Structure 1
Amino acid sequence: MKIIVIGATGRVGSTVVSKLMANKDIEVYAGARHPKKVPVAPNVTPFKINLHDTKDEIKEALPEAGKLIFAAGSGGKDLLQVDLNGAVKVMKAAEEKGILRFIMLSSKGSLTPDLFSGKKQSPLADYLIAKYYADEWLMNNTHLQYTILQPTALVEKPGSGKVTLGDYTTNENSIDNVAEVLIGLAEHNSSIGEVIEMSAGNEPIPEAINHLN
């Protein structure tokens, strides 16, 4: 399997790459603004990608692969250019290049507009708005075989290997578990066209993904 990871030096993306490195049957193309920060491994090829570039420049940067995990984010610093427009440009470029399986790391509440304004406005409203329009574009304006993962708050704790998919039972997810789920979704087609809620839980990740069938 050949898989692209966008945001390969971020908190989630770097964890995805580290996990994929252990599987020598997978060719990993790790995309980042600073590819020299990507860990060295025989099955990992770093490449430079800047989400501020044009769609055609991003398309040229993308390697040939069948699957893509989008885990890039600006950390709230550049929501329009990275989290929204950058994501959409990657979608367009991937589709034109024939990279059809697209796993999007999103967030709890990204498709719940009532959280963006009014009395119950989320403190993450601006971030969720950016994710909303990126997710909506992916679902309604592409022919990509998408899966959108909506985890609750990401925390830097050791992964338990157990989660809840399709519902929220806790308010957090370990980054390690999120990375593992993203990989599992990329390896299985049962979730194509689905938006999947995720939180820490009691079901082993492989079983939780299998139950998405």
Structure 2
Amino acid sequence: MENILVVGATGTTGKKVVSLLKASQYFEPVAMVRKESQVDEFLVQDIKTVVGDLTEDVSHTVLDVDKIVFAAGSGGENVVQVDQEGAKKIIDAAKAGGIRKFVMLSSMGADQPGKVPALKEYLVAKQNADEYLQASAVPYVIIRPGSLTNEKGTGRIQMANSLDNQGSISREDVAKVLTKALNDDGPINEVFEIIAGNDLISWD
């Protein structure tokens, strides 16, 4: 069993990732929470936790961890400190800790932030975090979904290194992609854009 640190475990998508990992026979989730008061939510499910704040030192959070899923976000309130600099802190810790794979939840449009003025600050933060990860020498997979919905997942997506069309995708299906990307036979050092589609979630 590999220990998977889920950064952003209390978020809507992060919780789904934790549940999928808990149900897996290969992975053991380690839920990273910001406050001690959030620990019990996971302990009652027999899920390991670690307390860490992305605005502070997080080097301790990667101890005894094999791989990382970064699904944290500030919800637009503190994008530079959390979505950008917080991600960089986890990447630095991953590099120092010899983490074997880092799966980053990014956003479609992070490669061209100026195209969506309303989300420019957020997308620039995501772009900077993505580029920092790509330059870090930590093995990575960057997943850039379209608009996130809370609809039930279908298990089917459209995925490519770059998609011409915008679209939406359920958080449930995004969580499935993030979890599948952890597999050793999955991609390494690649970026994928994903939206709802007709193809089964697979790297084949």
TM, length-normalised to structure 1: 0.87
**C-alpha separation in 2, matches of 1:163 and 1:169:** 13
Equivalent residue, structure 2, for 1:118: none
Q: State the 1:28 CA deviation.
A: 1.2
Q: Does 2:144 align with 1:150?
A: yes
The 3-state SS of whatever aligns with 2:118 is: coil
Q: Does 2:151 align with 1:135?
A: no
Cα deviation, 1:145-201, whole Å, max 9, x if unaligned, reads 011101000000000010011035551010000000000001144321111010000
What runs of 5+ residues in structure 2 fail to find an aligned partner? none
Give the alignment's Cα RMSD to 1 decimal. Answer: 1.6
Total equivalences in the alignment: 198
Equivalent residue, structure 1, for 2:193: 197
What runs of 5+ residues in structure 1 fail to find an aligned partner? 116-120
**C-alpha separation in 2, matches of 1:97 and 1:195:** 23
2:145 is aligned with what amino acid? Answer: P
Equivalent residue, structure 1, for 2:173: 177
Contact 2:156 2:201 in 1 (8 A): yes
Aligned residue runs from structure 1 range 13-162, under 5 A: 13-34=14-35, 35-36=38-39, 37-38=41-42, 40-42=44-46, 44-54=47-57, 58-115=58-115, 121-140=116-135, 142-162=136-156
**C-alpha separation in 1, matches of 2:196 and 2:122:** 22
**C-alpha separation in 1, matches of 2:150 and 2:64:** 32
The 3-state SS of whatever aligns with 2:54 is: coil
Cα deviation, 1:117-138, whole Å, max 9, x if unaligned, reads xxxx431111001001111111
The 3-state SS of whatever aligns with 2:19 is: helix
Contact 1:170 1:201 in 2 (8 A): no
Q: Which runs of 4+ in 1 moved over 6 A?
A: none
Cα deviation, 1:34-56, whole Å, max 9, x if unaligned, reads 342336334x20111100113xx
Identity level (%): 35
Aligned residue runs from structure 1 range 161-172, under 5 A: 161-166=155-160, 167=163, 171-172=167-168
Contact 2:83 2:126 in 1 (8 A): yes
Contact 2:114 2:120 in 1 (8 A): no
TM, length-normalised to structure 2: 0.91
Q: State the 1:19 CA deviation.
A: 1.4
